[in-house]
Amino acid sequence: MELSDERVLEELSLSGVSSSLISLADVVRKQSVGEFVYFRGLIEISNICNKNCFYCGLRKDNLNLKRYAMTEDEAVEIAVSMYRSGLTSLALQSGEVKSDRWVEKLVSIVRRIKEETKKIDIESGKEPEGAGITASFGELEKEHYEELFKAGAHRYLLRIESSNRELFYKLHPEDSNHSYENRIKCLEWLKEIGYQVGTGVLIGVPGQTEKDLLNDIRFFQSFDVDMVGMGPYIEHRNTPLYVWHRKEIESKGFYRRAYELTIKMIAITRIIMEDINMVASTALQSVPGCENSLEMGIIAGANVVMPTFTPPDVKSSYNIYNKRRNLSLKEMVERIEKAGYTPVLDRWGDPKHFLKRE
């Protein structure tokens, strides 16, 4: 359902979240994608990153972080045991390393996961479909995306972070390694190759206006994406963005605003884009001072959650922002059911938006 620019701006500028907006989003959600919430088991393969995004704790210049990269066997083993336990869709994530050698390893992981999980299907007398695989490894070469797709990844997440070019360069250094145009080009390649494509933005970052957020939604629409993942900005103390804007970030109401804007952005995006998949992100679940943000995200229209299956010994090193809260699969299932929605673990849950376009 279309909403005018004026209406969107009015909702975003309001202090608080209007219950009529949330109710409308929930009606649209139930009509278009139902009461289901799909799970993606998240495996954070490596925290090594060659980028220097000003807001993120994994940035290359953060020397205070223990870096790790799983072996192929480790990653495949986690995926296979997840699949055996009945969770059939997974998401592989890492910092960005644009090298043939690194991508070869990722391709091999994807291929092996696909093969192993198909074997499990055959053992249990099912059609060999294997795991649904979402990849999120940042900006790579087109050939890399093609190889990953051929190996069996069929969804790719690459957030634009902000569709406002000027703000993009306040969040990223303006150098050859951080290019707004290249990010757009990557999104176009992913679409051409045939991936289900997801993008998204950071919400509540210093310098961002309601108008920027409206334009972000218009960007999702014009790009006709299948999936959206948005989350509030959360501080990481060892990053330039925090140091530059410390006063604002520590001011009263900063996180409340980021949280409320995220909930409103989810609701408005659900109303306007109806049948896409949208995640209640880990950042949303981690927003300081808010205990029921998972439920609020779901009620506002999110229909995907991503519990992490990264082993505890390395999980703490995937420190994108401080005080990350990781709910277990069990906890998520219980809370989603309690809120009146239906958790789905044993189906891929592809975005209807993509299936309709095919």
Return residues touching ligand 5AD (CB under 6 A).
55-56, 159, 161, 202, 231, 233-234, 236, 283, 320-321
How many Cβ atoms sit within 10 Å of the Cβ of residue 216? 26
| Planar angle of CA 62, 55, 149, nearest 5 degrees | 90
Considering the complex, what minimum distance in angstroms separates the CB of residue 320 from ligand SF4? 6
Sign of torsion over alpha carbons 13, 14, 19, 21: negative
* Cβ 50 vs Cβ 177: under 8 Å: yes
Of 132 and 206, nearer to ligand 5AD (C-beta) is 206
Q: Smallest Cα–Cα separation from 300: which of 265, 334, 351?
A: 265
Considering the complex, what minimum distance in angstroms separates the CB of residue 143 from ligand 5AD? 23
* Tokens 């501080």, residue located: 235
> Per rule CB under 6 A, is residue 138 in the interface with ligand SF4?
yes
- Of these partners, ligand 5AD, ligand SF4, none, which one is at the site of residue 202 (CB under 5 to 8 Å by kind)? ligand 5AD
Considering the complex, what minimum distance in angstroms separates the CB of residue 347 from ligand 5AD? 25
Among 56, 265, 302, 345, the residue binding ligand SF4 under the rule CB under 6 A is 56
> Per rule CB under 6 A, is residue 235 in the interface with ligand SF4?
no
> Per rule CB under 6 A, is residue 51 in the interface with ligand SF4?
yes
Q: Which residues contact 242 (CB under 8 A, 6 or more apart)?
A: 55, 235, 236, 249
Of 276 and 320, nearer to ligand 5AD (C-beta) is 320
d(CA 329, CA 342): 14
Among 40, 59, 155, 264, the residue binding ligand SF4 under the rule CB under 6 A is 59
Backbone angles phi, psi at 106, to 5 degrees: -60, -40
- Of these partners, ligand SF4, ligand 5AD, none, which one is at the site of residue 59 (CB under 5 to 8 Å by kind)? ligand SF4
Of 88 and 208, nearer to ligand SF4 (C-beta) is 208
* Tokens 């198909």, residue located: 118
**DSSP codes joined into one string, 44-93:** EEE-------TT-TT-TT-TTS---B--HHHHHHHHHHHHHTT--EEEEE
Stretch that binds ligand SF4, among 50-58, 163-171, 282-290, 337-345 (CB under 6 A): 50-58
Stretch that binds ligand SF4, among 46-54, 63-71, 117-125, 297-305 (CB under 6 A): 46-54
Contact positions vs ligand SF4 (CB under 6 A)? 49, 51, 53, 56, 58-59, 95-96, 138
